[in-house]
Amino acid sequence: EQLKEHKYLITITNNENSTMAKLSRLNLPMLAGSEESISNKTYSNLMAILLMLGYSIINESTEKLVNNLKRCAEEMEIFNIKRKGEIKKAAEFLKGVNALHFIARGPTVVAAEQASLTWMEGMRTNTTAFAGGGFRHGPFEMVGVNHKAIFYAPEGEGGALIEKTAREISGLGSKVLVFSGRNMKSSNNMMVIQVKPEEELTFSVATAVPQELLLAQMAEDKGLVPGKFLRIDKITKVE
């Protein structure tokens, strides 16, 4: 409302009739439809729109990006239909978690932030998201037995550093799950779930379905219904 007269006010909404959409000069619809999970579709579509908007602002072609996003959608569908067995194994691997760290680098930090938020909502578990470098400054002292973390390791230099850290702390006793776009194999304390497409820029979109399925499975194993809130609503109505 404070910015409604701003000539460059852009909004991204899932409801074109919302107050926010009506106040903007340009509203970009998410077209995510209704949603039973916590925020899987709205999150994925928002990330895709923001990436395309960024390319458009700097006058870059979105053709390669859009093709990659289409691949993300195809892989999401495949994962949802054919790979739920891996999710059940991952939930069992992390069973009994009381606190969880989500660790990523670069553009993929947004996936860690999203997971941290939704795990608090859906699992009612203490979580924190860290950039890889930030995890090294202090929180690293927590690694070892009873420590659990989820890492995001796409292709590229950032993913290589994430892989290095994941291997290091699993060797120190932490239980580590890695959503990976790299050639990694599971070991004693480290479980790897391969995710495609592997590119760093869209990895936060590619991991949206796997991490939401994992959250749902872990919540159900705990006797909870993911997406069903006791104290709040999906849309916050209280300032």
SS (H, E, C) 140-170: HHHCCCCCEEEEEECCCHHHHHHHHHHHHHH
Helix axes 109-123, 208-221, angle to 10 degrees: 20
Inform me whether the pLDDT recorded for 132 exceeds 60: yes
What's 114-147 look like in SS3? HHHHHHHHHHCCEEEEEEHHHHHCCHHHHCCCCC
What pLDDT is stored for residue 101 in this prediction? 98
Q: What is the pTM of this model?
A: 0.89
By DSSP bridging, strand 26-29 and strand 10-13 are parallel
Reported as a single tens digit per residue, the pLDDT across 23-57 is: 988 989 888 777 665 567 889 999 999 999 999 99
Which of 8-22, 124-138, 144-158, 182-196 shows the lowest mean pLDDT across its residues?
A: 8-22
Reported as a single tens digit per residue, the pLDDT across 216-233 is: 999 999 998 876 666 566
**177: part of which helix (H) or strand (E)?**
strand 175-180
Residue type, 73: A
If DSSP codes are grouped into helix, strand and coil, which group holds residue 186?
coil
Average pLDDT, the chain: 91
Q: How many CB atoms lie within 10 A of CB 178?
A: 26
Reported as a single tens digit per residue, the pLDDT across 158-174 is: 999 999 999 999 999 99
| CATH of 81-221 given 3.40.50.970, 3.40.50.10490, 2.40.110.10, 3.40.50.300 | 3.40.50.10490
If DSSP codes are grouped into helix, strand and coil, which group holds residue 175?
strand
Residues near 11 by Cβ (< 8 Å), separated by ≥ 6? 20, 21, 23, 24, 26, 27, 28
Residues near 168 by Cβ (< 8 Å), separated by ≥ 6? none
Nearest one of 182, 181, 214 to 196, comparing CA atoms? 181
Mean pLDDT of 164-187: 97
Give yes or no for a contact between 38 and 232, defined as CB atoms under 8 angstroms apart.
no
Mean pLDDT of 3-30: 87
What pLDDT is stored for residue 225 in this prediction? 80
CATH 3.40.50.10490 residue ranges of the chain are 81-221
Q: What one-character-per-residue DSSP string does 2-35 give?
A: TTTT-TT-EEEES-TTSHHHHHSSEEEE------
Reading the block at residue 223, the tokens are 């006797």
What pLDDT is stored for residue 47 in this prediction? 93
Inform me whether the pLDDT recorded for 189 exceeds 90: yes
If DSSP codes are grouped into helix, strand and coil, which group holds residue 210?
helix
Determine what percent of the chain is predicted with pLDDT higher than 70.
92
Residues near 83 by Cβ (< 8 Å), separated by ≥ 6? 210
Reported as a single tens digit per residue, the pLDDT across 55-99 is: 999 999 999 999 999 999 999 999 999 999 999 999 999 999 999
Inform me whether the pLDDT recorded for 175 exceeds 90: yes
